Structure 1
Amino acid sequence: MNHEEHSQPISNSGSFITERDLSSFALSHERIHPQGDEDEIHLSELWHILVRRKWTIFVFFLVVTIIGMTASFLMTPIYRSGVTLLIDPEGQNITDYHDVLPTESAASRDDFYQTQYGLLKSYSLTKRVFQELELADHPLFAKKEPSFIGKLKGFIKNLGKAEDADEEEDEDLAIEKLITEFQEGFTIAPVKNSRLVGVYYDSPDPKLSTQVVSALSQAFINTNLERRYEASAYARDFLKDRLLQIKARLEEAEEKLVEYGNSHEIIDVGENQSQAANELQKITLSLALARESRARTEATYQQMLKTSDKGLSRILQDPMIRDLQESLAKIENEYAENLNIYKPDYPKMVQLRKQADKLKEQIQESVQDIKSAITADREEAIVLEQTLEEKSQEIKAEIKDLARRNIQYQVLKREADTSRQLYEGLLQRYKEVGVSGGIGSNNISVVDPPKIPIDPYKPKITLNTLLAMFLGLFGGLGLAFLFEHLDDTLKRSEDIEKTLGLHTLGIIPLISTKELPDEQSPALINVLDKRSALAEAYRSLRTALQFATSTGAPKKLQITSTSQGEGKSTSAVSLAIQFAQAGQKTLIIDGDLRNPSLHRIFEMDNSVGLTNYLAGNASPAEISQGTIVPNLFMISSGPLPPDPAELLGSAKMISLLSIAQEKFDHIIIDSPPVLGLADALIIGNLVEATLFVVAAGQTRKAFAQGALKRLKAGKSKVIGGILDKFDSKYHGYGYSYDYSGYHYSYGTDEAYDYLSSDHHKPEEIK
């Protein structure tokens, strides 16, 4: 039988496990465990993270709390004394005169108070209080002897300088440092929505704190009064100088104004301009009326020229012409009627014609008179308009000439008026300053005088302790989540499915070594207590393998892991025991020829084993051993060879598996770890399927991915994973092994005697 014939896994029924089986299994896995909502955060998951990292949180919380309390008790007690001041925007006006300092409007009130707060914290005010209280001699501010390093720095700095000058400079610098240190103890706290401000000073000496705030408030009031008085004195001197200058300028301007008016014969410029302007206004109004009349006569004249006599409106409306035309019409009507009776030469007819001709001549004369009147009106309107236009131009020229002559006069007059107003204003202000300058008005007063504090202001031990506890708690939580984020191990079945893409066939609970008698292997709990959580987990794994493929559980199965210590040997033995307890004849082979462990689990001899068959002349019957479990047989590793990979890939290994396949229902090989070794890849090509064991909280994701990638590159059929050493309290949520009435016990004493006795003799391979 060649290697290719055994490279395809064979099931219990003799059929192959195909890629289609694995694909259908993967599809069912996707239906059972959808990949959606990968980023969803479960509250229970956060809770289990806190449970897992509870000692980290507790230790960090305890350390921070202890440090906070210790630091609070070691701090020097600081006492705070304070004074409340009332600062009004303006001082009281004892006189009716305005103060020299500018009054504050509502818009600039905020700036005013910010200025006052800045003055309270100013270096000059602090220095004044420091010197008044002679704090340079106070024990808190006494000059301290510099350290050796300080002396060395001072010596290097003062090289090449005069000794006396250095001493004075150092003393001045030391005083400035003391004043700066003294200034840091002040706190200015304005009372919101009021004119009150609290001034506080913190010091280890309660009496000193009271003295300082009292001196500061009094110094601030005195400084304010001094500043007002100095401003008044400065204003008086300044106004006096300005008055002398303005007075001289006023006298000079008045002299120039009088001289210019006399030389140009200007009596009153304003009156002359008013008369000319009134006359111009009258002429302009008459000119407008004349232009209107001229336009009207012009229109009549043009109409006369364009139309016949009968079409002129003035002719048509004339009553005399209208009477003559009516008489003419009557005669013409009479003539027309008599023409039917008499001939034109009849005397009566001749008389009528003469009367008609006479009326026509009269009408024509009247029309000519009207035309002459229209022409005369037009010429008269034109002459009037020209006359008024000439008069208007004369008045305008007169006004312009007057304005031109009076420009310099007005300039001199305005300068004299301005100088006079300025002089009168400054003179009035000078008198006000002289009266108000000596009055000590004050806008600052003390509301609450300072008191000697009894209790220290800080440290606040209770508050500091609470803050330390708060920081310790939240810092511990943050540290726990940081450690959890940095922890890249696989912890839950979801991690195996998302990271490795494997279906989790079994979740094996963590068993404490204290629960094992005489430090026995956890795998033997499957024999000692079939109702234990461990036995139930492996029984569930066996059932899952039955449904892992369409042909049932693989007949030849390899169990491996990423690295040592992940529980692959325990899983191999436990799974083999479950198959054997189910009545199926099972063979377990220790394929880890570098670090074998099956003989230690079953406490059996390892002098003859797999290597004796692969490298020697031992027969399969000689290397197989029965175990305490019915239907379970074992082939131990035997002596360790120098090259295990060469032996595992030999034809004799293929032959051994072929022989065992005919005798046993299941063959389970405990394979070496994947990383760093080729043994698992070789065995993976000899079996039907591979189970990948992952230790919860121990196997790192990158290593597991690398191991799985090597298995798939070696054409191993990995059908699923086993999550071993799983503790639901620490590694996940939603899993519980709380079987009512079932405990991690090991049965009766008879069960233990049965495990250690030799009365059960397993059947050998014939």
Structure 2
Amino acid sequence: MAQPAETNCPDKNRSDGGFSETTSQFPSKARIRQSGLPDIWPYIRRQRRDILVILCCTFALGAIFHFMRTPQYRSEASLEVTKVQPFPVETITSPAGTDIEKRFLHTQGEILQSRALAERVAERLNMLKDDAVLIALTGGRANDSRDAEHRKNRVIQKLREGLSVHLSDKSQIIGLSFESPDPALSRAVTNAYIAAFVTANVQQQFDSTRYAQRLLTERLREMRKELAYAEKALNKYARQHDLLRAGGTAMGEADDTQQSMLGAALGQINEVLGEARAARIEAQSRWEAVVDSDPLTSPEVLASPAIQQLLQRQANVEAELEKGNAIYLPDHPDIRRLQAERKALKSQISRLANTIRASIGETYQAALTRENELVMQLRNLRGESLDENDASVAYNILAREAAAKRSQYRALLDRYNGLNNSSNTVQNNIAVIDEASLSMEPSSPRLLISGAVALMAGFALAAVWTLWRSQGDDTLRMSQDLSDKIGLPVLGMIPASEAGLSPMQELENGRSALSEAYNALRTALTHSTAKGLPPVLLITSVQAGEGKSVTSYAIALAFARLGVNTLLVDVDLRRPALHHLLDCLNDDGLSRALEEGVDPLGFIKPAGKNHLFRLTAGPVPDNPTDLLSDPRFETFLDNARLYHEVVILDGPPVVGLADAPIIGSLADGTILVTEANRTTIRACETAAERLRCANNYLLGTVLTKFTARSVGRHLSYQDREYWRYGVGARAFDAVPAGRV
């Protein structure tokens, strides 16, 4: 079952058996998928004559333009241009070499196309005075120039317009060509361009060298003055602040590796202080070893030769005294002499040991005094050194400035010497690969190119023409237009009837393409709602002549063939057509019954088919809308539901009339018939909106008179063969497809 849709129209509750909803079942316009450009092929088919005329006209114009153009002859040459350095230059950070080469070649190409080089060529070929050359170049008169300046500008303009330069990204080859009406002139101008380019390149190198020499000379003179001023300022500052080196020179007069006087003194004092501190430490160790102990226990005292001799003598006296005590009495003179001598030796040893210890203490005191004196000197020199460092800040700045000036002067001098060495030689970086030759065939215009351009222009104009026509054409072509652009489901697509056969004749054959299409529509209607087929169906159309009456009859006939009791009612009271289709009288019908107040069921008659009944419209009334709005018409429809399983209402078209919305509001479902290749999308939208606003339950649409060729592409499932599936399908191939 189709889904309800949003609508801005008022809605009503219905009680018609549950076949309709309180809101319309279709999506709103905001939710309809916007389609892109329309399928262009149908428009191409319809505009094929205009397209053919456009192509023929553009081709003819191209041919006329081709034969009216003056033949042009092109002379070509090629040069090899390499990048050289005419004189030493500073090293500059640049991109990769390939980019540099590309920029160089592009620069050379711009030089070839410059006005200055064109003036050289004009002067070389005497174009500014030779009328014959000017006529051959411009293709006009030589005396048409107002003055010499105008003549010169015209010649230069023609030279630059005829010149073409071709650069290669993979080599250093530059292609050069010139095009003019005279082949000899083209060759002469091309060769003149080559000669002028080589001459200009050599002249540019000479000019660049002279300019560089003049520039470097001036710069060297300025740099010499700046260097002298920087050196003088540096030396003056060094002398003012006594920043002298160890050799006696001022800082800045000699190389920077020499130390200042103060720095040398600091170094010497540091060295002497180290030695004095080592001597003091050694003396202190000796003194601490003897100051608080017996001197005779000190190794240094014992190591004295005098102490050793006295100790030896004391040992000898002790030995003699021990022997004498064993022989003599204590009062013996020898014993007394030995005891006196021993006492004298001990006294000497003691005095000598104390003397040695005092000498060690004096040595330590002398070393300590020396160390303290050196420390004081070092402290004084450090203060002076800090003062010197403060003064060296400005000195270092001046020294760096002088060094920078010295380096710049040296670099400029090297460049100047190198430029003088290369000034007498010129490097020719241009080599002629191919000289210009005489062209025997014109390079333009070419017939194939002119024809191709004319055809391309024709196709472009034809495409613009077709697109312009297609943008203004919103005619329905296929079912996708209804579903995508309008949002209406397509219940069926009815093919156009075959040529030579009327729709009624085709419907008599149950296996015809038309019958099979309406059988498919019957199946779609059977499943159009959740409760099956609505009992009362209104068949209407956007406008007259779209096949709604044939569709109404075909649907009724399709259900009757299934054994369904079907009633076909012609409710188009303004322009009835059912009696024409069935070839019957229209005297007694719906309008007469409603006007006379009788039951229309009494005018129902068999339609000549089993289970199929008809009720014609009757005579055309004065006011059909009033009759259809009469409650008796609604009563008739309710009674028809009781006696017939399906009631098919062949209604009037929607656009411009109020009849169809009124009838649709009483029916259980409405089907909108649209004709392919005739009904517009805007008209279909308007009709569907009117039906929705009248609370019609719109089941969907039927696309009639459809042909696969009108779609603009081959769609096998939409071809007539689709409705001829089965045995004997080829029986219809002999009849070509046409329109009703």
TM-score by length of 2: 0.67
Alpha-carbon distance in 1 for matches of 2:389, 2:450? 91
1:201 Cα shift?
A: 0.9
Alpha-carbon distance in 1 for matches of 2:385, 2:632? 142
1:693 Cα shift?
A: 2.3
1:515 aligns with 2:500: yes
1:70 Cα shift?
A: 4.6
1:86 is matched with which residue? 80
1:719 is matched with which residue? 699
1:670 Cα shift?
A: 1.2
Please state whether the residue corresponding to 2:511 is helix, strand or coil: coil
1:134-171 Cα offsets, whole Å, 9 max, x none, are 54633352656999xxxxxxxxxxxxxxxxxx964xx6
- Say which of 349, 369, 372 aligns to 1:379: 369
Alpha-carbon distance in 1 for matches of 2:615, 2:190? 93
The answer on whether the counterparts of 2:634 and 2:666 sit within 8 Å (CA) in structure 1 is: yes
- Say which of 107, 129, 151 aligns to 2:121: 129
1:204 aligns with 2:181: yes
User: More displaced, 377-386 or 303-312?
Assistant: 303-312
Please state whether the residue corresponding to 2:522 is helix, strand or coil: helix
1:67 is matched with which residue? 58
1:320 is matched with which residue? 301
1:100-139 Cα offsets, whole Å, 9 max, x none, are 9999999555444333222211112213323443546333
Superposition pairs of residues 40-119 of structure 1, within 5 angstroms: 50=41, 53-54=44-45, 60=51, 63-64=54-55, 67=58, 70-71=61-62, 74-75=65-66, 76=69, 77-90=71-84, 109-119=101-111
1:634-673 Cα offsets, whole Å, 9 max, x none, are 4333443343221101033234334544554432111122
1:94 is matched with which residue? none
Change (3 A) 1:746 1:616: farther
Alpha-carbon distance in 1 for matches of 2:701, 2:268? 120
1:343 is matched with which residue? none
Which one-letter code corresponds to 2:58 in the other structure? I
1:742 aligns with 2:729: yes
Alpha-carbon distance in 2 for matches of 1:722, 1:234? 90
Which one-letter code corresponds to 1:74 in the other structure? F
1:193 Cα shift?
A: 3.4
User: More displaced, 280-289 or 672-681?
Assistant: 280-289
1:287 is matched with which residue? 269
1:226 Cα shift?
A: 4.2
1:198 Cα shift?
A: 1.7
Which structure has the higher relative contact order (CA within 8 Å, separation 6+)? 1
1:214 is matched with which residue? 191
- Say which of 130, 134, 138 aligns to 1:141: 138
Change (3 A) 1:713 1:173: same
Change (3 A) 1:303 1:229: closer
Which one-letter code corresponds to 2:185 in the other structure? L
Superposition pairs of residues 441-460 of structure 1, within 5 angstroms: 442-460=428-446
1:442 Cα shift?
A: 4.1
Alpha-carbon distance in 2 for matches of 1:59, 1:682? 45
1:324-360 Cα offsets, whole Å, 9 max, x none, are 9xx9xxxxxxxxxxxxxxxxxxxxxxx9xx99x9999
1:277 Cα shift?
A: 4.8
Aligned length: 644
1:652 is matched with which residue? 632
Cα RMSD, aligned residues only: 6.2
Please state whether the residue corresponding to 2:105 is helix, strand or coil: helix
1:505-528 Cα offsets, whole Å, 9 max, x none, are 33322225x333xxx4x244212x
Superposition pairs of residues 503-652 of structure 1, within 5 angstroms: 503-512=489-498, 514-516=499-501, 520=502, 522-527=503-508, 529-549=509-529, 552-606=532-586, 609-616=589-596, 620=600, 627=607, 629=609, 631-652=611-632
Alpha-carbon distance in 2 for matches of 1:573, 1:493? 22
1:227-265 Cα offsets, whole Å, 9 max, x none, are 45556677788899999x89x999x99xx99xx9xxx9x
Uncovered stretches (5+) of structure 1, i.e. residues with no partner = 1-5, 10-15, 31-35, 92-97, 148-165, 328-350, 749-766
- Say which of 172, 182, 186 aligns to 2:159: 182
Change (3 A) 1:491 1:210: same
Superposition pairs of residues 704-715 of structure 1, within 5 angstroms: 704-715=684-695
1:503 Cα shift?
A: 4.8
1:461 aligns with 2:455: no
User: More displaced, 222-231 or 112-121?
Assistant: 222-231
Please state whether the residue corresponding to 1:284 is helix, strand or coil: helix
1:677 is matched with which residue? 657
1:160 is matched with which residue? none
Which one-letter code corresponds to 2:576 in the other structure? P
Alpha-carbon distance in 2 for matches of 1:276, 1:666? 126
Alpha-carbon distance in 1 for matches of 2:415, 2:631? 125
Alpha-carbon distance in 1 for matches of 2:464, 2:532? 48
TM-score by length of 1: 0.65
1:676-714 Cα offsets, whole Å, 9 max, x none, are 432122112332322232334544455444433433343
The answer on whether the counterparts of 1:280 and 1:392 sit within 8 Å (CA) in structure 2 is: no
The answer on whether the counterparts of 2:541 and 2:652 sit within 8 Å (CA) in structure 1 is: yes
1:461 Cα shift?
A: 3.5
Alpha-carbon distance in 1 for matches of 2:293, 2:114? 102
Alpha-carbon distance in 2 for matches of 1:387, 1:7? 124
Alpha-carbon distance in 1 for matches of 2:142, 2:603? 89
Which one-letter code corresponds to 2:667 in the other structure? V
1:335 is matched with which residue? none
The answer on whether the counterparts of 1:587 and 1:633 sit within 8 Å (CA) in structure 2 is: yes
Which one-letter code corresponds to 2:79 in the other structure? L
Alpha-carbon distance in 2 for matches of 1:462, 1:442? 43
Alpha-carbon distance in 2 for matches of 1:310, 1:61? 137
Alpha-carbon distance in 2 for matches of 1:173, 1:715? 83
Please state whether the residue corresponding to 2:149 is helix, strand or coil: helix
Please state whether the residue corresponding to 1:672 is helix, strand or coil: coil
* Percent pairwise identity: 24
The answer on whether the counterparts of 1:49 and 1:481 sit within 8 Å (CA) in structure 2 is: yes
User: More displaced, 622-631 or 79-88?
Assistant: 622-631
1:283 Cα shift?
A: 3.9
Which one-letter code corresponds to 1:652 in the other structure? R
Alpha-carbon distance in 2 for matches of 1:81, 1:628? 90
Superposition pairs of residues 280-429 of structure 1, within 5 angstroms: 283-295=265-277, 318-320=299-301, 370-384=360-374, 386=376
